C-alpha cells in the first residue's frame, strides 16, 4: 500500500517526529537525480522546450515527449515537511537554471521551496548564499544530493 500525509498525521508519534525544532534549520535538496529524474534525458538541461505539465501524472514533458518526473516518495516527503513548517531550499549546479525553474513552476514546487540557489557553480557558493540570506548556520542545514562530491 501507499502512505499518505493524511494517514501519517493520524499517528501521534509520527506527528512528534515531524515537528519543527525550536531553532531555525534548513533542509536543502538537489534537483537532478535527487528530487526528480528526466528518464532518457537524465538531466533537466537535456530537455527540449517547450515544456508542458501533465496534471494526472504530475510529470513535465518536453517537445519530444521525454518526461521529467519526481521520484515516487518526493511528493509525500515534501508535503509532510512543508505542512509541518520546516524551512526548505533547493541547491542545483544545473547549467540551465531557466529549465529547472520552469519544471518547478509547472509542478508548483517553486512555492514549497522559498530558498533557491539554482545556477552553475559550486555547492559551497549556494550554501554561502543560504547562510547569508537566512542567517541559519551551516551546522543547522541538512542537505540531500546524489553526488558524493557535493556532500563531503
Residues annotated as catalytic (active site), given as ranges: 30, 32
Alpha-helix runs per DSSP H in the chain:
5-9, 12-17, 74-83, 97-106, 123-134
User: Measured between alpha carbons, how far is 56 from 69 in angstroms, rounded to an integer?
Assistant: 12
> Cell numbers 521529467 label which residue?
68
Sheet with 52-54, strands from edge to edge, namely: 36-37, 67-70, 59-61, 52-54
Cβ 146 vs Cβ 33: under 8 Å: yes
Q: Is 112 helix (H, G, I), strand (E, B) or coil?
A: coil
Closest CA to 62 of 50, 78, 77: 50
Phi, psi of 68 (to 5 degrees): -100, 125
CB atoms within 10 A of CB 87: 20
Amino acid at each position: 500500500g501507499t502512505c499518505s500525509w493524511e494517514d501519517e498525521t493520524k499517528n501521534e508519534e509520527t506527528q512528534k517526529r515531524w515537528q519543527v525544532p525550536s531553532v531555525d534549520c534548513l533542509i536543502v535538496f538537489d534537483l537532478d537525480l535527487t528530487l526528480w529524474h528526466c528518464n532518457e534525458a537524465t538531466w533537466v538541461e537535456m530537455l527540449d522546450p517547450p515544456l508542458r505539465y501533465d496534471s494526472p501524472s504530475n510529470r513535465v514533458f518536453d517537445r519530444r515527449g521525454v518526461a521529467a518526473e519526481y521520484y515516487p516518495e518526493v511528493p509525500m516527503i515534501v508535503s509532510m515537511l512543508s505542512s509541518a513548517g520546516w524551512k526548505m531550499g533547493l541547491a542545483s549546479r544545473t547549467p540551465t537554471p531557466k529549465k529547472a525553474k520552469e519544471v518547478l513552476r509547472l509542478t508548483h514546487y517553486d512555492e514549497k521551496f522559498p530558498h533557491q540557489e539554482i545556477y552553475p557553480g559550486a555547492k559551497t557558493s549556494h550554501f554561502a548564499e543560504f547562510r547569508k540570506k537566512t542567517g541559519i548556520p551551516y551546522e543547522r542545514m541538512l542537505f540531500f544530493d546524489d553526488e558524493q562530491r557535493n556532500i563531503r
